[in-house]
Amino acid sequence: MSGQTPDATPASARHGTQSIKGRLQALVRGVVGPPAALLGRIGMRPDHLTVVGLLWSVAAGLAFFEGAFRWGALLTALGGVCDILDGEMARRLGGGSRFGAFLDSTLDRLAEAVVLVGLAGFYIGHLVELTLDPRLAAEEIGRGLDPAVWERVGLVAVLALVGSFMVSYTRARAEGLGLACRVGWFERPERMVLIIAAAAFGVGPVMPAALIGLTVLSFATAAQRLAHVWKMTRIP
């Protein structure tokens, strides 16, 4: 395209990030390759695993909503395993179908949304519970807890959802314009790992801190992609 300029991101930085991700991807493929091949032999298709992964994520969202954070961590991890397996199976089948790629991307967004909505629902729902039960609210205040914190954390979870969608949208929109946009510090795998790790600590201060970090890093990644596309399309 005329008017484009080369990506101004330092080549060494891009290469270093891609090299680390490449090694991790090779390691993961080595681990999931045999089970992906076995599932293919018994008739499973990538699309089947995509749907199963979504179901695990829906279950995770419900677990988070109920405050069962460790169960939520396990179920989110199972959804992630299905996502990895369907990608490996599609690769073994020569890249899979175009509809399969579309379905995978669409359900990935939905899977992440239900997890974050479950978390937001837990925090905002607990605030409603405190509002309806003054005795419980008084107990929390007596322990030095500010009931308004629950609302703030719920709103942060909503912002985390918006940020995660912005990360995906900026890349999809750029590629829709024919521009490569593979840059990004904090993509879906990193977001899911952060949620799983935080949820493993149960209900406590770790998850709110993780949601704040997820929100900040997601918006930073979206901004990174905006800057990347601007550098590619600006007129010198």
Domain ranges in the chain are: 11-233
Active site residues: 108
At 211, is the pLDDT very low, low, confident or very high (cuts 50, 70, 90)? very high
pLDDT by residue (tens digit) across 152-209?
899 999 999 999 999 999 999 999 999 988 888 888 889 999 999 999 999 888 999 9
What is the reported pLDDT for 178?
92
Closest C-alpha among 140, 120, 119, 142 to residue 63: 119
What is the reported pLDDT for 80?
92
Q: What is the CATH number of domain 11-233?
A: 1.20.120.1760
At 7, is the pLDDT very low, low, confident or very high (cuts 50, 70, 90)? very low
Query: Is the pLDDT confidence value at 121 over 90?
Result: yes
Long-range CB contacts (< 8 A, 24+ apart) of 88-97? Answer: 88/29, 88/32, 88/33, 88/36, 89/36, 89/39, 89/40, 89/44, 89/45, 89/46, 89/49, 90/46, 91/29, 92/33, 92/36, 92/37, 92/40, 93/40, 93/46, 96/46
Cβ proximity of 167 and 177 under 8 Å: no
Q: What is the DSSP code (8-state) at residue 205? A: S
At 142, is the pLDDT very low, low, confident or very high (cuts 50, 70, 90)? low
> Locate tokens 């607990």: which residue?
126
Cβ proximity of 106 and 53 under 8 Å: no
Angstrom CA distances, 215 to 161, 163, 193, 208, 222, stand at 8, 6, 14, 11, 11
pTM above 0.85, yes or no: no
Query: Is the pLDDT confidence value at 4 over 50?
Result: no
- Alpha-carbon distance 80 to 64, whole Å? 16
What is the reported pLDDT for 28?
66
pLDDT by residue (tens digit) across 71-88?
999 999 999 999 888 888
Q: Which two tokens stand for residue 171?
A: 């890349």
